[in-house]
Amino acid sequence: MSIGKLFIILGIVFLIIGIIWTFIGRLPGDISFRRGNFSFHFPIMTSIVVSIVLTLIFFIIGRFR
């Protein structure tokens, strides 16, 4: 695989991740904690959704290799 094709694939993957991140943002199931001037956010459901999407993308790419 040439370096050009690799950059195109990586660009598409990052574009898809950016679009997904914009639309899903904070899903139900994400842990958010705020007290005073301290806040903590742990995106559990967002991480699971992104992981599933990336797994599917890499599976599809692997099928065509």
Q: Over the stretch 1-50, which tens digit does the pLDDT of each residue have? A: 688 888 998 899 889 878 877 776 677 888 888 999 999 888 888 788 88
| Domain around 48 | 3-64
Q: Which two tokens stand for residue 64?
A: 């065509």
Query: Number of folded domains in the chain?
Result: 1
Predicted local distance difference test score (pLDDT) of residue 35: 92
Coil, strand or helix at 46: helix
Token pair of 53 as six digits: 């999407």
Residue pLDDT, tens place only, 49-62: 888 988 998 898 88
Model pLDDT, residue 24: 67
Q: What is the total residue count of the chain?
A: 65
Predicted TM-score (pTM) above 0.75:
no
Distance between CA atoms of residues 39 and 41, nearest Å: 7
Question: In the prediction, which pLDDT does 63 show?
Answer: 86
